[in-house]
Amino acid sequence: MPPKKAAQEKKALLGRPGNNLKIGIVGLPNVGKSSFFNVLSKTDLGIARNFPYATIDPEEARVPVPDARFEWLCETYKPASRVPAFLTCIDIAGLTAGASTGAGLGNAFLSHVRAVDGIFQVVRAFDDAEVTHVEGDVDPLRDMEIISTELRLKDIEWVEKHLDGLKKSGRSLGNNSLADKAKKEEIATVEKMYKVLTVENKDIRKAEWTNREIDVVNGLQLLTAKPVTYLVNLSERDYIRKKNKWLPKIKAWIDEHNPGDPLIPFSVALEERLEAMEPEEREEEQKKIGAVSALPKITTAGYASLDLIRYFTCGPDEVRAWTIRRGTKAPQAAGVIHTDFENKFVCGEIMAYEDLREHGSESAVKAAGKLRQQGKPYEMQDGDIAYWKAGI
Residue ranges in the chain whose pLDDT is less than 70: 1-9, 43-58, 97-108, 128-136, 170-176
Within-domain flag for 184: no
Binding annotation: 30-35, 234
At 192 the pLDDT is 97
Within-domain flag for 358: yes
Within-domain flag for 378: yes
Look up residue 310 and give its amino acid. R
Contacts of 327 by beta carbon, 8 Å cutoff, 6+ apart: 10, 13, 307, 379
Within-domain flag for 362: yes
Give strand ranges (E) for 99-236: 118-124, 228-233
CATH number assigned to the domain comprising residue 359: 3.10.20.30
At 46 the pLDDT is 35
Within-domain flag for 227: no
Angle at 240 between CA 239 and CA 245, to 5 degrees: 45
Within-domain flag for 356: yes
- In tens, the pLDDT along 2-36 reads 555 545 667 889 998 888 899 999 998 888 888 99
At 151 the pLDDT is 92
Within-domain flag for 282: no
- Domain span at 336: 327-390
At 55 the pLDDT is 38
What 8-state DSSP symbol labels residue 15?
S
Binding annotation for ATP: 30-35, 234
3-state SS assignment for residue 12 = coil
3-state SS assignment for residue 89 = strand
At 58 the pLDDT is 52
Count how many domains the chain has: 1
Within-domain flag for 8: no
Count, residues in the chain:
392
At 20 the pLDDT is 85
